[in-house]
Amino acid sequence: MMMGRHVRALVRASVAACALLVAASLAAWSDRGAAAADAPVHLTMFVFAAAGHMDVPEAVVRAYMQAHPNVKVDFVESSNAKTFPQQLAAFKTAPDKPFIDIGYYNADTTTKGLVNDMWQPLDASKIPNLKTIDAQFRQPQDTGVEFAYGPFGLIYNKQLVKRPPTSYADMWGNPAFQHKVVLWDYVLEPVMLAALFNGGSGTNIMPGFQMWSQHTDQIATFIHSNQELENALVGGDGTLAFFDLQIATLWAKQGAPIGTAIPKEGAVAWPLFIEVTRGETPAQLAVLDDLINELIAPDTLTKYSAATLYVPTNRRLPLPANVAAAYPPGALKKVINLDWMSLAKNTDGWNQLWDTMIKAKVH
């Protein structure tokens, strides 16, 4: 009898305790929804190191951090070339802890990342400003955003070159530039261009290799950095190169005797992308969606364009005054879009051809 009373008391106490426990857990769980919005979110953002490219994104992100104190973003400024191997290594080692969460990348890195399945498809419904990007620049499954492109063309030494180049064929076919063409080592765009204009295509650039192979005497030297390129052109070791017209304009403003030319075939559109690495937590993704929305907002893109002379892919935006002035009127009407995916898929094989068909013959 007494036992029964105690047992009943015990059972009642246990049930009460369980009920409390369940209630507490439910409360905590539902609280998590609210708490998550204020839970700290830490992101690492990469912007490649080039004059003017970090300023606008950094300002936008810092403003966002002020408005959302729980968000902390570390900035990594480095080169595409150095950061991608790190990212791939981290991706293969710890795919759930991305080394870089969001970054500004060039076409080479972006397509390499795509081929290795590293980038996160974005949810267009969470990023309204994606609609402002021109349809032709939208990525398949919105894996990243192509937000701007820089016209690439020919740059030359103004003092030594009497007749400015007018065509990409001046690189491989014009005897006036014999032994004077400076090439970036393992940068295949000149070969792709030669292929495009000599019967090849984005996927078959053998005609380009053959053209260059026959005209290796055009090549002055192979360089690997902006500084080397500037030294070569200013010093006269080379007089012609395929390069970023924006940086060349900057050099010219500093007084260097370097001129820019958009060939008659059109400028090459050198695209820039914002990419999010796979493996982000939902909380991080939510913040990233917000950030990207701000980074591709029309006024942000306008400011970015003014700072870098790159052209936004939101074509309805009027170009800032300094950008419009930098390019001859109508020069941007025709741009060449190279097949970057094909380049990424074939880099290894094509690099070998670069070595055997071009470099091995230059001595």
Partner 1 sequence: MVSSLGNARRIDWVRVALRVYLGAAVAYVLAPLVIVVINSLNSTAYNLFPPPSLTVQWYVHLFHLAQFGSAIRVSLEIAAVTAALALLIGAPAALVLTRHRLRWTDGWRAFLTAPIVIPQIVFGLAMFIFFLRLGLNGTVTSIVLTHLVVALPFVVIVMGAAFLDLDPALEEAAMDLGARIPQVAWRVVFPQVRLPLLAAGAFAFIISFDQLETTLFLVRPGVTTLPVQMFLYMETFQDPTMAALSTLLILAVAAGLVVVDAVFLRRSAGAPGRRDRASPPVARVEEGTG
Partner 2 sequence: MRWLPLAPSVLVVAVLFVYPLLHFLRFSFDTLHEGRLIRGFSFDAYRAFAGEAYYWLNVWTTLKLAAVVTLVCMAVGYPLAYAIWSVRSPRARRWASFAVMSPLVVSVVVRAYGWLVLLGRQGAANYLLQRAGLTHQPIALINNLTGVVIATVHVLLPFMVFPLLAALDRVDVSLKEAAADLGAPRWQVFRAVTWPLTLHGLAAGAQLVFPLALSAYVTPQLLGGGRVLVLSTLIYQTTINVNWPIATVASIVLMLMTVLATLALLQITRRSGRARGLQPR
Q: How many residues bind partner 2 (CB under 8 A)?
A: 38
Among 115, 176, 324, 325, the residue binding partner 2 under the rule CB under 8 A is 115
- Of partner 1, partner 2, none, which one does residue 142 interact with (CB within 5 to 8 Å by kind)? none
In the range 29-68, which residues lie near partner 1 by CB under 8 A? 44, 49-51
Among 97, 186, 214, 264, the residue binding partner 2 under the rule CB under 8 A is 186
Among 201, 213, 221, 337, the residue binding partner 2 under the rule CB under 8 A is 221
Residue 324's φ and ψ, nearest 5 degrees, are -60, -35
Using CB under 8 A as the binding rule, whether residue 237 contacts partner 2 is answered as yes
In the range 175-234, which residues lie near partner 1 by CB under 8 A? 225-227, 230-231, 234
In the range 84-113, which residues lie near partner 2 by CB under 8 A? 84-85, 88, 92, 111-112
Using CB under 8 A as the binding rule, whether residue 78 contacts partner 2 is answered as no
Q: How many residues bind partner 1 (CB under 8 A)?
A: 29
Residue 3 C-beta-side C-alpha neighbours within 13 Å: 0
Tokens 């902006």 belong to residue: 226
**What mask, x for binding partner 1 by CB under 8 A, covers residues 279 to 318?**
----------------------------------------
Tokens 């490219």 belong to residue: 53
- CA–CA distance, 335 with 347 (Å, rounded to integer): 23
The three-class DSSP label of residue 184 is strand
- Of partner 1, partner 2, none, which one does residue 282 interact with (CB within 5 to 8 Å by kind)? none
Instruction: Tell me which DSSP letter residue 356 carries.
Output: I
In the range 126-185, which residues lie near partner 1 by CB under 8 A? none
Amino acid at 270: W
Among 58, 68, 75, 294, the residue binding partner 1 under the rule CB under 8 A is 75
Amino acid at 218: Q
Using CB under 8 A as the binding rule, whether residue 116 contacts partner 1 is answered as no
- CA–CA distance, 163 with 112 (Å, rounded to integer): 38
- CA–CA distance, 39 with 157 (Å, rounded to integer): 55
Amino acid at 79: S
Q: Are strands 267-276 and 145-157 parallel, antiparallel or unpaired?
A: antiparallel
Q: Which two tokens stand for residue 225?
A: 């950095």
Using CB under 8 A as the binding rule, whether residue 223 contacts partner 2 is answered as yes
Burial category of 220 from C-beta neighbours within 10 Å (exposed 0-12, middle 13-18, buried 19 and up):
buried
- Of partner 2, partner 1, none, which one does residue 325 interact with (CB within 5 to 8 Å by kind)? none
- Which residue number, 14 or 225, has a Cβ lying nearer to partner 1? 225
Using CB under 8 A as the binding rule, whether residue 231 contacts partner 2 is answered as yes
Residue 156's φ and ψ, nearest 5 degrees, are -150, 165
- Of partner 1, partner 2, none, which one does residue 30 interact with (CB within 5 to 8 Å by kind)? none
Strands (E), the chain: 41-48, 71-78, 102-106, 145-157, 181-184, 219-223, 240-244, 258-261, 267-276, 311-312, 335-336
Residue 296's φ and ψ, nearest 5 degrees, are -105, 10
Q: Do the beta carbons of residue 306 and residue 323 sit within 8 Å? A: yes
Tokens 């064929």 belong to residue: 169
Among 94, 160, 324, 360, the residue binding partner 1 under the rule CB under 8 A is 94
Report the interface residues with partner 2, using CB under 8 A: 81-82, 84-85, 88, 92, 111-112, 115-117, 183, 185-186, 220-224, 227-228, 231, 235-237, 344-348, 351-352, 355-356, 359-360, 362-363
Q: Which residues of the shown chain bind partner 1 in the complex (CB under 8 A)?
A: 44, 49-51, 74-79, 82, 85-86, 89-90, 93-94, 99, 225-227, 230-231, 234-235, 251, 254-256
